[in-house]
Every structure is written in C-alpha cells, then in structure tokens.
C-alpha cells in the first residue's frame, strides 16, 4: 500500500479507510503472494500457498458456467466487442477480487477516429491495494476514490494519481497527477528494487511519461448520472472493520487457521527430514583425503553421517531409521484444512482429503450446500457489478457519441454446477428419457454441450447409458 498521508496531501482529500483496513488489505496481498509474516522465521516455516489456492478455486466455482451476452442494438453489439478483452481476463480479475475483498472496474474512452475523438471503450481493472475510496453515499456505495497507476522507466518509478468524484448534483470531476520516485537501485546482481520510500518525490508532467501523454490533468463534467467506475465488494460481513463499507477477502476469517496449517505442514516436512534413513559411523572406518576428511562411498554422501568417536565407541557404526509419524501429523493438518474450508465457505474436500470427511450423506450435502450459498452470493454481487459496468459504458458512449444510443439487453447466466451431482443428474435425466418425458436429443445436447440438431446426428441405433463418447 502507498503512503496514505501523501495521497491526501497531494489531492487535498481525506481517504475514507481506516488504518486497520489498509493493514489488512496489505496482509491479504502478502498471503496471496505466499509471503505472509510467518514465512521463515526461527521455525523456518514453509507455506502451502492456501490463500492463492482458495482464491483461484472460488473464482473457478463462480465462473464455471458463466456466460455473458449483450444484444438489442448496434450499441449492444459494439459493447460486446469492447468488453471482449475484459471478459477474457475476468477469471484473473475475479480471483483478485476474492483475494483482496474488493475490485474496481473503470471503463474509459480509448482510440481515436479521423476527427480525433474516441472510437471505442476499454475497461481498467483496479485491485483493492491500488484503490483508495474517498466518498460514499447513504447506501454505502463508493462515489469518489483515488486510483493508482504505476510503471517503471529506467532508475525511477512513475506513479499516476487519478482522483474521481461524483456529486449528487450530477457534477463529476477527475484530477490526474504524475509523480516520479527517488532513484531506485539494485540491491544485488540479480534483484531489482522497484519500490521505494518516497514514491511521490517529484511531480512531473503527464506528457513526459510514455503512455500518459493524452491524459488531461483536470476534467469537469455535468449531467453525469452515476460514478464512472464500479466498486464491487465481496458479500461478506466485514469482521476486520465493521464500520467500513469495503469488502473482505474470502479467506479473511481463516487467517489464523491458515497460519496454523502452514506450521503443521512445516512439522511434516521436518519429520521427513529428521527421520531420513542414515548410517552413523566413526570416521576411523573410512580412508581420509589430503585434508583429513573421511572419504565416503561414491554417491552415498547423503546416507553416511560421520563422527569422531573415542574410547569404547571407536569403530562404531549403526543404522539410523526411526519411525516416521507422518500419519498423525497429516491427520492434524487435514483437520486444519477442514476448518479453513468451513471458514472460507468451501465444501469439504476442496483442500482436505475427501476420504477423511466423506462420512455421511448428510455431511456431504450440508458441505455442498454451504459452498453453493457462498458461491451464489458472490455470483450475485459480480452480476450486479457487471450490470453497472454496462451502464457506465452506456453513459460514456452517450458522452462521446461513439455509437448511436440504443437498447442494451444483458443475458448473464451462472448455472448451479457447484451444487449439482453429475452422476445423480445423469440418472435423473435418463429416467425422464425412459419415461418418455424428455427428448433423447435434449439429453444428448445437455450431456455433450451441443445443440439438439448436432445431438440428433450423434444418437446411435441403440442408445446406451451413459452416452458413448
């Protein structure tokens, strides 16, 4: 996170987030990058990278059956094309949304026609650690905020501050400033330091930085019906700062358990290392090299551990092969993983060993239901956010007259594959077919994910269950 006080001074605004939230967002990012505070240390703790796995799996479940289509006019067709890259990258954006608790989608005019006007719209995705809200309405919706864009050129880091503010009078203001950091340097031959203590060391012209030449420093607009950006929070209670309208990471409630799981995993690694088979032997049993060190059998350096014994132990040799306690250690780890799944709203078996938890049909059903409810809530939040993005794009298109205004209908589907048991569903639909209540071509179309017309060509003379590939 950037120095909040510096941002407030540069723009003469007040950032509407607490120090607790700033610290927690920074921690979530560290955890996601597999660099939590407990990594290493005196216990040499290793990490399972659970936050990244949880975020990725949650995003996958959210988007498993996702489809998005715009239609209704030439504008809708154009917007479908404008959102192509944005939708292609939506899995990554969704993963970061899950990891950091919030994300901003910010459409903006791009390109240039023969008259020098924008010829299309693109959408920026701003992660929670690069966005600082400044204003909210009475419903907790973000109406003002600061966005950061960072790039490195040579020995300096350049940071662009973009401040948006929407007023209920439908007035809108945008301020852009660019800053150059203090000179950065290499701390070693192969490691570049790309952050610095003073990122806002010197203000520079926007036009002096590659890629920022066409950005206006100050823009004032009227008759703007909404903020020209969309902040989406995860639909979970903020247990970090209950008074904050910002979202929390999907693994925020599991932070302590994730740390304990990493510690337990480290114990398992140490157990394997500590109990590795070896032969303890007196150095006198081996020939020595010119430096007086024992010469071990070729290729067996790891097997032998030599000591300089005296007295009765002279010539001592013994195999070292203690019993490995990995079963009990991994059972403990599995229980911790189950707690992480519970705290993150995931079904048992996503992280833990299924064999350990698949005990009763009721437990499995409840576990899947928990996951369904969690994912469904996230899908609804993302669905509402995407609808808002469409509205912002319609507003920008009207402002710049890129395409003639027209009706834009949204068809956004999510499915319920997170809850569906495919084997049960196969049997259910096949029963319908046998009872004459479901067309065979409909069954094949569902099974193979094709049209009914293509399915008819695939149906053999003697259909089987399940359908042959």
pLDDT tens per residue across span 313-331: 777 777 776 777 778 888 9
Neighbouring CB atoms inside 10 A of 464's CB total 7
For the ranges 42-46, 186-190, 253-257, 406-410, the lowest mean pLDDT is seen at: 186-190
Residue 188 has pLDDT above 50, yes or no: no
Two tokens, residue 30: 């560290």
The CA-atom distances, in angstroms, between 45 and each of 52, 327, 341 are: 17, 20, 21
Higher pLDDT, 411 or 422: 411
For the ranges 13-17, 46-50, 86-90, the lowest mean pLDDT is seen at: 13-17
Mean pLDDT of 413-419: 68
Mean pLDDT of the chain: 86
Helix (H, G, I), strand (E, B) or coil at 246: coil
pLDDT at 48: 96
User: Residue 434: pLDDT band by 50, 70, 90 thresholds?
Assistant: confident
Mean pLDDT of 92-103: 97
Residue 1 has pLDDT above 60, yes or no: no
CA distance 93 to 230: 13
pLDDT at 39: 94
- Long-range contacts made by residues 178-184, C-beta under 8 angstroms, separation at least 24? 178/203, 178/204, 178/205, 178/206, 178/208, 178/209, 178/212, 179/10, 179/203, 179/204, 180/156, 180/204, 181/156, 181/157, 182/156, 183/155, 183/156, 184/152, 184/155, 184/156, 184/157
pLDDT at 363: 61
Answer for the pair 104, 229: CB distance below 8 angstroms, yes or no: yes
Higher pLDDT, 124 or 4: 124
Residue 192 has pLDDT above 50, yes or no: no
CA distance 435 to 427: 12
CA-closest candidate to residue 129, choices 33, 59, 43, 41: 33
Residue 224 has pLDDT above 60, yes or no: yes
Mean pLDDT of 35-46: 92
Higher pLDDT, 28 or 328: 28
Higher pLDDT, 193 or 362: 362
For the ranges 6-15, 56-65, 72-81, 280-289, the lowest mean pLDDT is seen at: 280-289
* Backbone angle region of 5, left / alpha / beta, with phi > 0 → left and psi within -120 to 50 → alpha: alpha
pLDDT tens track for 130-158 = 999 999 988 889 999 999 998 888 888 89
Strand partners, 142: 136
CA-closest candidate to residue 331, choices 270, 258, 259, 261: 261
pLDDT at 17: 87
- Long-range contacts made by residues 363-372, C-beta under 8 angstroms, separation at least 24? 367/341, 368/418, 368/419, 368/421, 369/419, 370/342, 370/345, 370/346, 371/61, 371/345, 371/346, 371/347, 371/418, 371/419, 372/416, 372/418, 372/419
Two tokens, residue 373: 């409810």
Residue 387 has pLDDT above 70, yes or no: yes
pLDDT at 358: 47
Residue 221 has pLDDT above 90, yes or no: yes
Answer for the pair 446, 432: CB distance below 8 angstroms, yes or no: no
For the four alpha carbons of 116, 120, 126 and 132, in that order, the dihedral sign comes to positive
Two tokens, residue 427: 């049997």
User: Residue 190: pLDDT band by 50, 70, 90 thresholds?
Assistant: very low
pLDDT tens track for 237-296 = 999 999 888 999 999 999 999 999 999 999 998 887 777 777 788 777 888 888 778 888
Residue 422 has pLDDT above 80, yes or no: no
Mean pLDDT of 215-238: 95
Residue 77 has pLDDT above 90, yes or no: yes
For the ranges 30-44, 93-107, 187-201, the lowest mean pLDDT is seen at: 187-201
Residue 383 has pLDDT above 70, yes or no: yes
Q: Which residues of 421-440 are buried (b: 16+ CB within 10 A; e: fewer)?
A: eeeeebeebbeebeeeebeb
pLDDT at 139: 86
pLDDT at 463: 64
H or E stretch at 92: helix 90-100
pLDDT at 103: 97
Q: Which residues of 269-291 are buried (b: 16+ CB within 10 A; e: fewer)?
A: eebeeeeeeebebbeeeeeeeee
């Amino acid at each position: 996170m950037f120095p909040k006080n510096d941002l407030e001074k540069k723009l003469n605004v007040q950032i509407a987030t607490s120090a607790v939230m700033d610290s927690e967002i920074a921690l979530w990012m560290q955890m996601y990058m597999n660099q939590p505070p407990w990594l290493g240390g005196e216990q040499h703790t290793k990490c399972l990278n659970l936050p990244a796995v949880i975020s990725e799996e949650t995003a996958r479940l959210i988007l498993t059956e996702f489809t998005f289509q715009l239609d209704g006019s030439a504008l809708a067709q154009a917007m479908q094309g404008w959102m192509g890259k944005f939708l292609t990258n939506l899995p990554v954006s969704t993963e970061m949304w899950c990891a950091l608790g919030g994300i901003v989608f910010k459409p903006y005019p791009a390109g240039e026609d023969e008259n020098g006007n924008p010829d299309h719209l693109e959408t920026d995705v701003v992660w929670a650690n690069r966005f600082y809200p400044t204003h909210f309405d009475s419903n907790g919706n973000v109406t003002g905020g600061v966005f950061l864009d960072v790039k490195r050129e040579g020995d300096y880091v350049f940071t662009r501050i973009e401040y948006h503010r929407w007023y209920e009078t439908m007035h809108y203001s945008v301020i852009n400033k660019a800053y150059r950091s203090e000179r950065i340097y290499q701390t070693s031959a192969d490691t570049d330091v790309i952050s610095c203590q003073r990122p806002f060391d010197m203000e520079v012209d926007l036009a002096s930085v590659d890629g920022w030449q066409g950005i206006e420093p100050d823009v004032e607009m009227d008759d703007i019906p909404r903020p020209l950006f969309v902040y989406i929070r995860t639909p979970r209670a903020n247990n970090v700062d209950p008074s904050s309208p910002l979202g929390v990471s999907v693994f925020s409630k599991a932070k302590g358990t994730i740390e304990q799981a990493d510690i337990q995993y480290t114990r398992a690694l140490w157990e394997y290392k500590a109990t590795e088979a070896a032969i303890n032997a007196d150095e006198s049993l081996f020939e020595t090299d010119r430096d007086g060190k024992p010469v071990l059998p070729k290729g067996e350096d790891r097997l032998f551990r030599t000591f300089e014994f005296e007295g009765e132990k002279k010539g001592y040799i013994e195999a070292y092969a203690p019993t490995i306690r990995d079963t009990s250690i991994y059972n403990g780890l599995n229980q911790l993983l189950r707690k992480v799944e519970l705290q993150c709203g995931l079904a048992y078996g996503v992280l833990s060993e299924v064999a350990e938890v698949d005990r009763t049909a009721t437990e499995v059903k409840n576990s899947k239901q928990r996951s369904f409810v969690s994912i469904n809530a996230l899908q609804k939040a993302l669905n509402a956010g995407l609808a808002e993005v469409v509205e912002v794009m319609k507003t920008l298109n009207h402002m710049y007259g890129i395409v003639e205004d027209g009706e834009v209908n949204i068809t956004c589907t999510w499915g319920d594959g997170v809850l569906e048991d495919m084997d049960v569903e196969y049997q259910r639909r096949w029963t319908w077919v046998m009872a004459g209540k479901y067309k065979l071509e409909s069954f094949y179309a569902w099974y193979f994910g094709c049209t009914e017309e293509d399915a008819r060509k695939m149906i053999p003379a003697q259909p089987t269950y399940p359908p042959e590939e």
